Structure 1
Amino acid sequence: MFDDLPSDLPRLEVLRTWHAMWVKRIDTKIARLREREAQQARAAATVEEHAPDWLIEYGLNRDAVPNAVHVGGCRMAGKRSKPTDSETVRRAIAGGVPACGFCRPDSELGILDG
């Protein structure tokens, strides 16, 4: 059935040892990757638990003019986003700051386009 394997016992034992070593290495790598994924999931859950309710994203210029409004935890919010309260978000949207099309903070607040 397995005619492609060596016919003598010493070479078969070497092959078995070699493959057992590789299976152990593969199992170790799988365990490390599973642990890393679990850590990332725990970290993401912690971030989501502590996410603010609302975010205002600011531009690059020195004047830091708001350029978008997001619901807290929106993945589209940039690094220049700052937490804020709902009243500030309402005023920003009323003042012309665009609402994120992904998380739709205007819908969350019940603001309808006039």
Structure 2
Amino acid sequence: MVRPWLVVVVRSSAPRGRPYRARVSEESHQRSDDAIAAAEQREAERRQGGERRPPAPDWVLELGIGNGTPPTEVHAGHCYAIGNRRRVIDRDQALALLADGVRACSHCRPDTTLGVLG
């Protein structure tokens, strides 16, 4: 026996229109597409930065602390021991500085590369 005063109306919480699974699936695909696009953008920026980066210098002069202090060492451009106070120099300047008595770096040995006997 059905009691008319116990009738309960049950409504679906899913919105009408597209089914819930289809909507979630589309949102998931959109998030994946956005993540892929962001990764591709980062990769393109990394490649572009590498192309625009200036070439490494051939020779570097490490400067002393303060104004008017003599330079401390001559380095090859690839040396890992170059300090923060530095200036890019060309081959002729490196030869002249080594001839004037500026010390050559003991790690990269620019005097040997330049052919300076010291």
TM tier, shorter chain? 0.5 to 0.7
Deviation at 1:10, TM superposition (A): 1.5
Aligned with residue 103 of structure 2, among 74, 97, 103: 97
Deviation at 1:86, TM superposition (A): 3.1
Over 3 Å counting, the alpha-carbon distance change for 1:30 and 1:100 in structure 2 is farther
8 Å Cα contact 2:61/2:89 also seen in 1: yes
* Map of 1:25 onto structure 2: 34
* Structure 1 counterpart SS, 2:72: strand
TM-score normalised according to structure 1 size:
0.66
- 2:37 is paired with a residue of what secondary structure? helix
d(CA) in 2 for partners of 1:100 and 1:81? 17
Measure how far apart 1:74 and its partner are. Answer: 4.8
Matched residue, 1:86: 91
Gaps of 5+ in 1: 1-8
Name the residue aligned to 1:109: 114
AA aligned to 1:35 is A
The amino acid across from 2:86 in the alignment is S
AA matched with 2:31: W
| Superposition RMSD in Å | 2.8
Partner of residue 10 from structure 1, selected from 16, 19, 44: 19
* Bigger Rg over Cα: 2
Task: Name the residue aligned to 1:39.
Answer: 48
Identity %: 25
Aligned length: 100
Cα–Cα, structure 1 residues 75 and 41, in superposed 2: closer, same or farther, change >3 Å?
farther
Asked if the contact 2:62–2:73 (Cα under 8 Å) also holds between the matched residues in 1, the reply is yes
Match of 1:56 among 58, 61, 67: 61
Q: Which moved more, 1:27-36 or 1:76-85?
A: 76-85
